[in-house]
Amino acid sequence: MRLSWLVILLPLALGGCFVTTPAPRPAHTTVVVPQGSSVVCSDGSAPPCQ
């Protein structure tokens, strides 16, 4: 359980971009790509997010 929180919180702390399986996402961070192969920021740019 603790590892799951690290997987979610650490990328947010580092810049707001992350790759994950489909899950509820904060509206201001990322768009989750279903295959988990790439990351797109909420403004459509590539990482690192602003």
Q: Convert the pLDDT of each residue in 2-36 to its tens digit.
A: 667 666 666 666 555 555 545 555 555 555 555 44
Structure tokens at 42: 């909420």
pTM over 0.85: no
* Residue-level pLDDT at 36: 46
- Looking at residue 3, what DSSP letter applies? H
* Residue-level pLDDT at 43: 72
